[in-house]
Structure 1
């Protein structure tokens, strides 16, 4: 009799404890209510799905409210994302348009500069070969310590741009190396034995070579040509330094502008 009474008392105590007697569904319902009250509608709907309470009558109104709020939130987020994408697309469109305008303006300016430079460039046409040789007008037929650019055009095709280095004096230097400096830039070139040409007449000697001008060298030459102290050194057994004249430097700039213009 005493044992039975003790068991009844223990059951009474346990059922009186907080949380005791609640099923898992009751606990989940309470959590769902709390989530909805806190505005955590997504979590409330997720818990309802996981716990199988999506159709539970006791919390159906809460779930309907949560669903409506979540749908509203998602639509707002989608609308915000769409607006952001539209702004990004418009910004990109404007950037592309600006680049096109800048490229168009740069091309128009380059063409203008090329046509202006053409006035100071000599065009020697060869009827037999149907070709035209372009070089600066100030270059002498018999060169004397000169540096200049030149190129040819044949049948509408433009040849690579070349640069000529020329030494003349009363004694050979047997040039093999070229160094051109100016504006913080430097160009070095070591020629092969066959590249350097030599001639003499009446006690005067000439040594010269011609080198292709790459895009990188073209950029360097534009900088070098701006320096009044730009200097060419041709060296071998002996050496000779030559400070570029203003006409040399101006001609380099003109030939580069005209060459780019002819390339289109």
Structure 2
């Protein structure tokens, strides 16, 4: 729901604009009088449609506004009420936009024992071997699984081209991509790092896995254009090198000389 902007009195049907008392009367028939404050204005929605606004005083609804829409037929002075609605204003606290459960899950959300099954028609996955473009019914899908098991193929389904593209874009845009601050300030890129373990398959020319135990990305997929200060060929500049220790000072005073000081 889009928050309501501050209402102002606008040009419109004078009869409807003057129906403030009627709008309040109808509003009080539906809500407690203690919840209704002063009229804050009216807006002409159409030639013969006007909405009146009243401050909402109900506890927990700070910044909300009562909205009463009135109308009349052409040539008639009789005012009728279309609707009574409670709307959020600019300063109102509203619930965030609803997101489906499966879209709310993020890496790290799963706990031991949790299951996250994929849908049968997940576009990121395709049968390990192709059966053409004809749609498969439930029985055919079960047969695919059984045949794959009998043939010892291991995986019934594998990543589809769409699934590969989605993963690649997600990794490229994530913390292991080339545009994060860590990579921008790195002395060199991951493609030239000795700690990079290259992938095989479709993504072999774009991504690898970091194997530097001292790096932030150890064990994670990184783009070739990523980088960090733990690059295998990183060298400290002369200014960054630690200062050599000072020469040892030898105390040559004898006990007698020390007492005479």
- TM-score above 0.5, yes or no: no
Structure with greater proportional strand content = 1
**Which has the greater radius of gyration?**
1
What's the TM-score once normalised by structure 2's chain length?
0.19
Structure with bigger RCO (C-alpha 8 Å, 6+ apart): 1
